[in-house]
Amino acid sequence: MKKRILITGAAGFLGSHLCDRFIKEGYHVIGMDNLITGSLSNIEHLFKLEQFEFYHHDVSKFVFVSGKLDYILHFASPASPIDYLKIPIQTLKVGSLGTHNLLGLARAKKARMLIASTSEVYGDPNVHPQNEDYWGNVNPIGPRGVYDEAKRFQEAITMAYHTYHQLETRIIRIFNTYGPRMRLDDGRALPAFMGQALRGQDITVFGDGSQTRSFCYVDDLVEGIYRLLLSDYVNPVNIGNPDEITIKEFAEEIIALTGTNQKIIYHPLPTDDPKQRRPDITRAQQILGWSPKVSRKEGLKTTFDYFKNLPEFK
Ligand code: UDP
């Protein structure tokens, strides 16, 4: 009998790559998405498979799935700063009410549940690089608070279900990740810069570009999630690529890769934009034997090839 896994946010960037991976591993995959930020085009290649089914549903409302479930991956959530500015209440609800509903489902089905948490739980960090024992520096009422606090609540309720109900749970803290199927208009640095290069627009760096991020290629992230799900480790695990770069240097790399003639223009830094971010991945290395394999050079090239072949640029 095939293992059955529910993946929420299945039509999104990470969710769709997870659907592909678990299909490849021989699982029966049930994808769920309300399609407010996800797109069916990310999973349309799966619709012909018997191994895959899709529920168009908002997990902030009661979730019903028939039959047995072995695993639940909760990846539904707006995940880019401009999305959670546009849809703040949904962002709060999917991380809180949605997680509660899915924990209830996991309990009823005796399934193991893995939640997608985030480096945003560290806020604008005072500890660098960030390890899992750091409690973070989050502004609860700032523009990012709706996402950060929903994810912090999500970790808290997941841990409570683990300790109080002995539910099998796993928590991954995801750092900036990129790759094919990101939304070009999601406002994040990489799709923004590549979209601007392809349209012949100037590259918009926010602030003076000295803030840092560390970008992980999606296939590496998916491997980390796969290993964590099948491990017996309950505390949070950072998954990300520690190769840190300033946003200005990142923009310059994308300008060089795309061959655009455009220049960098500077816009104001958004409120509460973290000044630095780099994962300490010692725990993932020790417990999961995991480290990222794809270099930024290689990953950026694959991602640019994807964007430049989208219908709007053909
Ligand atoms: N950023 C930028 N120009 C853009 C979009 C983003 O300079 O057009 C900056 C943003 O202010 C942040 C960094 O790039 O410092 C990464 O932003 P992103 O939205 O990709 O992710 P975050 O890590 O902030 O959630």
Out of 27, 147, 161, 178, which one is annotated catalytic?
147
With a cut of 70, list the residues of the chain below it in pLDDT.
none
Whether 197 and 147 share a structural domain: no
Give the atom of ligand 1 at the shortest distance from the alpha carbon of 120.
25
Ligand 1 interacting residues, C-beta cut-off 6 A? 80-81, 176, 188-189, 192, 204-206, 211, 213, 247, 270, 273
* Domain total of the chain: 2
Whether 196 and 145 share a structural domain: no
Q: What are phi and psi of 133, to 5 degrees?
A: -85, -5
How many percent of the chain have pLDDT more than 70? 100
Q: What CATH number does the domain containing 253 carry?
A: 3.90.25.10
pLDDT digits (tens, 9 = 90+) for 105-115: 999 999 999 99
Q: Give which of 217, 212, 190 is closest to 203, Cα–Cα.
A: 190
pLDDT digits (tens, 9 = 90+) for 277-310: 999 999 999 999 999 999 999 999 999 999 999 9
55 catalytic? Reply is no
Domain encompassing residue 197: 189-212+244-277+294-306
The encoded tokens of residue 290 equal: 């995991």
Ligand 1 pocket test target in 148, 199, 206, 278 with most atoms within 8 Å of CB: 206
113 assigned to some structural domain: yes
Whether 168 and 35 share a structural domain: yes
Q: What are phi and psi of 15, to 5 degrees?
A: -55, -40
Whether 61 and 24 share a structural domain: yes
DSSP 55-98: EE--TTS-----S--SEEEE--S--SHHHHHHSHHHHHHHHHHH
314 assigned to some structural domain: no
Whether 238 and 248 share a structural domain: no
Whether 154 and 232 share a structural domain: yes
- State pTM to two decimals: 0.97
Whether 39 and 161 share a structural domain: yes
Q: What is the rounded distance in angstroms from the CA atom of residue 241 to the CA atom of residue 95? A: 24
Q: What are phi and psi of 250, to 5 degrees?
A: -65, -45
8 A C-beta contact, residue 84 and residue 91: yes
8 A C-beta contact, residue 225 and residue 239: yes
